[in-house]
Amino acid sequence: MIEFLMKKVLLIGLSVLLLGIFFMMLRTGKETGIDLRLKRGGSFIEGVKILQKKDGVTAWTLTASTADFLEGDEKAELKDIALVLPNNNVILYADSGIYNLSQQSFTTHSIVRADGEDFRITANTLDYETVSGKVKTDGRVKVESKGFQVEGTGMEADSEQKVSIFKDVKATFNKVNK
């Protein structure tokens, strides 16, 4: 009888200990800033940061307030996006966009702002191939700097910051006083 009670007490004690460890793990996971939830049948993540490294050096860093995975978890719908390109000293900002994990591309259908050291680009939409560094838009685009402003429709840029605007181009050059 005493042996039966000792086994029962030991079993209850182990159960309480394992339950305590489980709750500690959940609490520790909350402190990391990542919150996994179910939303519309897929995974929903808060506080997203994606790093792309090439030869051990960060090629770009994408941060977003939320990511909702779509279409078999190959695409993530992102909100409040900042994409940092340290090689070019450029930061892209957008309210929302889609990151395709399999194609390693980023697309936005909202207004995008790109801030560099000496320029700012604003576009209606943006397609960015993360592997090649190519940026493209078919919509309206505006490039501003201290000495000039260029507007037009359709743009392509490469990783060396060579920018081409295709249609309805209007350029304004300002005299810069030194």
β partners of residue 46: 66
The answer to whether 76 touches 101, Cβ cutoff 8 Å, is yes
* 161 and 95 within one domain: yes
Mean pLDDT of the chain: 78
Residue from 107, 118, 124 nearest 161 by CA: 118
31-67 per-position pLDDT tens digit: 444 444 434 445 578 888 888 888 888 888 889 998 8
What's the total number of domains in the chain? 2
pTM: 0.67
Residue from 135, 70, 88, 89 nearest 108 by CA: 135
127-174 per-position pLDDT tens digit: 888 778 788 989 999 989 888 899 999 988 887 768 888 999 998 888
Can you tell me the mean pLDDT for 9-29?
Answer: 57
CB-count burial class (<10 Å; 0-12, 13-18, 19+) for 151? middle
Cα separation, 22 vs 27, in Å, equals 9
CATH of the domain at 65: 2.60.450.10
- What's the domain range around 24? 1-32
